[in-house]
Amino acid sequence: HGKGLLFGIYTDRGNATCAGRPGSRGFEGLDAATYASWGVDYLKEDSCWADSGHQDVAFADYARMRDALNATGRPIYFSLCGWYPWYSSVGNTLGNSWRIWGDVNGWGSVYTAAQVNAKLFPNAGPGGWNDPDMLVGSSPHAAVYNSPEQSRTQFSLWVAMSAPLLIGSNVLNMSTWDLETYTNAEMIAVNQDALGKQAAIVHDTCPKLKLSSIKPRHSVDFNPKRPSDELDADVPECEQVWAKPMSDGSVVLVLVNWNGSARNVTCASSCLRSAGIDASHVLAYDLWEHRKLGVFSSVVAQLGANGASASIRVKAASSSAASSSLSQQPAFR
């Protein structure tokens, strides 16, 4: 705290943690009081060695720790880690954030976590957030990593989804690219916007996902020796535009190319209307290039293959600005 940092700690609702160390089952009161006496600000409680097959058991386990933390009188952010989307509908009665899927490792798991979370956007808001897991950087010094463009796209999506921004990478050997990604003040401000709305998909060519048809993948299932193309095999050839409403009336668009080849991704007039923009033209601002782009009737991003993206903040343009807009729609990037 003396260095301006907060103190986070980890436990498990079972008898042991995922690493085999003692868990908190039956000792919630003692553990919570100990954390408070240490000045802990953030607690993650995992679900290894606990019953994850019965929702009522899981909810009761987390409720015991919730009540124990509240009894201390110290404000401690409570992060549930139960891996299933069924936490989302009740998560804000139990804690401040809740994991909605398995561990994110390769690019395929980034895609799946995002698609699962897309279905849960109504459940997120100030004080309680869907958690699609940690950010995977691009440093080859880390246990798992993705390409630089993929790591930035993951960050952009997590920002738009109002997700917790927790770096699960080697911070001691972070690349200049990743440092730039994770310290983008304009993007962080989007994530922390007071309205607290999670982004929704407003343009989508990806296959429809059925939550009942897929199984969460945890770290124990991940083998870093598997070829990268196998890890990416479950990423379909498709594109999406996500839209996050902001408290000032603007909207942040994240345009994503999941395809294996470069292409333009467009948010045309119908897409903009779905995003909440009721105007013929928009003022556009690039949140990664930190510059105004102009006035346009649609937003088009020229994106590279395998997960490249653009993050564009738009707001309705005045009639005078619209009348002087560019006659041809350029492709950003």
> Do the Cβ atoms of 266 and 298 come closer than 8 Å?
yes
Which of the residues 103, 131, 178, 232 is marked catalytic?
Answer: 103
> Is 133 in the active site?
no
Which of the residues 46, 61, 193, 232 is marked catalytic?
Answer: 46
Query: Within the chain, what is the greatest distance between any pair of CA atoms?
Result: 68
C-beta neighbour count of 222 within 10 angstroms: 17
> Is 103 in the active site?
yes
Active site residues: 46, 103
